[in-house]
Structure 1
């Protein structure tokens, strides 16, 4: 029997290749998944945990990211075809709305007076688009290739190669508010903003997460911790260290999840600095995760992330999206010890 939680439900008709990102709609239990098979899929998740494939559209190369508009009517995605696409839920049509000189690694909707899409690329730029126009509103140059990006108004954070973190205040979106080196010593894998735009969590390939606040007055609240490791409990032991692939914030309680190349996920409380709950391992890496809008479902993609290269790819491994029913006690904040 698989080590995965027996109660967790499997999404039907999953992607046929690596799953790059999964995202729940902010308005309904629709789950989007972008995949290396070049397709972006949308599933409807029922209250009993069953799922149904609703829609699919394609890029001309691997799809690397996806993000829902705030009103849930549109889904944006980016791919190795250097194109940003927009899928309209009501019409079932996809159109190209963005272009870069290299693959688009991240797409995020930027809150503001109008729906603006930010696209971040390995061409070392972020572009802001009004999706009704063909040309970008503005283009900003990054110090290196973009690896991860997230936004909670008025904050947008971009993590690039060489451990750069560039922070933007979206009230002045083209000028960096702050640029720092990651507090983690190894390559960044994921970055994720927490509520009210006060800060972010950042994860590295070396099984560490850092919680970082934006304002200098809050710097005493910054900390980092180890996770997604095996062994190494004694000084003489060597730990097996895994990449932290995904960080997500609970929409109600403000606690957060981490998931990694070790195939496990856990829930944490940043304010009390404790682990709330850890879960059994899946049979492969977890590449992406997300909570639904009410925080009652936690979705995780079981999909090899190539952290061991080709030699680590099991011939019979399947790509799966699993749904975990969240027990509120597992995500509620705790008092600090």
Structure 2
């Protein structure tokens, strides 16, 4: 199923967004940005990088200011905030995760995070949740496991054995969604975190790049390397609402029947409106209303692949990272490839759902 106005060739001014007021962060990582996450309680933005470091910025009225940084042993692949905004976790290629407790930071900009060996392969995803009043860190790895940690000890409190390497993971309320290699998708009810509640094969035909939960936890979106996004509901009685659509494709100006296909690298849901963004290897991002099956806004190319995105806690700022996404292997990561971290202010009706549609 296709969205209205869903192709890059659409020229209608009402769906063409403007990036002229986007703020570019001046102090940047030295290598590609792998992930980013906003604090749920403050205007802090954390960024993980292939340069083996995590950077935390404070977004204030006078601009974007570097606040803290901490090092990992190997390339940092993921970053996440605890739900109370007091701790930051990151995972790296060594199989370790790191936790920085902001309640104990010094006045120095360079901090030391507490490491813990968690997995036998790289930690690709970290997320936080709360179960029974206890905050847990969830780690997903290329060793084909997802583990839960209450951080009071050095042993995982629960382990989920996945079908394949964990590539992507997201959680909302009591829903945990895990996307692995070979297009497996696992759904976990966090009331029973040791058991996979539901298994499925991705509705998309090619490798999964990202999963992202709806704001009401009734379902999730899936993005793949084939320039497609799928909307998937958890409950079987809502299966009729599932659909997929093409995005992040560019038609060849010389041959109209041929399109270049780009990976969907990041999907983020607006915390207030329930609309969502997609961003990809074509260097563009778009805002969508899934319930109206409508593209709200599309934005011009940023000069490089977009590797990570996220809305601030109140949804007023959309952050996106431009850097190499490894889609062309080691040889594609040249010193001239751009590294950017930009903040897009959300204005007017950019992310508001179409009138009459249900917010999720």
Q: TM-score range by the shorter chain?
A: over 0.9
- C-alpha contact 2:284 2:299 (8 A) present in aligned 1: yes
**Corresponding residue for 1:81?**
94
Secondary structure at 1:217 match in 2: helix
Q: Does 1:22 align with 2:42?
A: no
Give the whole-Å Cα distance in 2 for the aligned partners of 1:123 and 1:193. 23
Normalised by the size of structure 2, how large is the TM-score?
A: 0.89
Q: 2:120 aligns with which of 91, 98, 101?
A: 101
- C-alpha contact 1:250 1:291 (8 A) present in aligned 2: yes
4+ residue runs over 3 A deviation: 232-236, 310-315
- C-alpha contact 1:22 1:31 (8 A) present in aligned 2: yes
Give the whole-Å Cα distance in 2 for the aligned partners of 1:236 and 1:317. 29
Give the whole-Å Cα distance in 2 for the aligned partners of 1:274 and 1:336. 13
Secondary structure at 1:86 match in 2: strand
**Corresponding residue for 2:322?**
302
RMSD of Structure 2 on Structure 1 (CA): 1.8
- C-alpha contact 1:255 1:333 (8 A) present in aligned 2: yes
In structure 1, the gaps of 5 or more residues are: none
Q: 1:161 aligns with which of 167, 175, 181?
A: 181
Count of residues in correspondence between the two structures: 334
- C-alpha contact 2:158 2:193 (8 A) present in aligned 1: no
Normalised by the size of structure 1, how large is the TM-score?
A: 0.95
In structure 2, the gaps of 5 or more residues are: 1-16, 106-111
Secondary structure at 2:349 match in 1: helix
Secondary structure at 2:73 match in 1: coil
Q: 2:292 aligns with which of 272, 287, 292?
A: 272
* Pairing 1:30-49 to 2, within 5 Å after superposition: 30-47=44-61
Superposed CA deviations along residues 257-314 of structure 1, whole A, max 9, x for unmatched, are 0000000000000110100000011010000000000101000000111213345445
Superposed CA deviations along residues 133-159 of structure 1, whole A, max 9, x for unmatched, are 111101111000000000002100000
Give the whole-Å Cα distance in 1 for the aligned partners of 2:85 and 2:331. 40
* Pairing 1:247-266 to 2, within 5 Å after superposition: 247-266=267-286
Deviation at 1:12, TM superposition (A): 2.3
* Pairing 1:50-65 to 2, within 5 Å after superposition: 50-65=63-78
Q: Does 1:119 align with 2:139?
A: yes
Give the whole-Å Cα distance in 2 for the aligned partners of 1:106 and 1:77. 8
Cα separation, partners in 2 of 1:97 and 1:328, compared to 1, 3 Å: farther
Deviation at 1:222, TM superposition (A): 0.6
**Corresponding residue for 1:196?**
216
Give the whole-Å Cα distance in 2 for the aligned partners of 1:225 and 1:282. 23
Deviation at 1:236, TM superposition (A): 6.4
Q: Does 1:132 align with 2:152?
A: yes
Give the whole-Å Cα distance in 1 for the aligned partners of 2:255 and 2:137. 48
**Higher RCO, Cα 8 Å, sep 6+:** 2
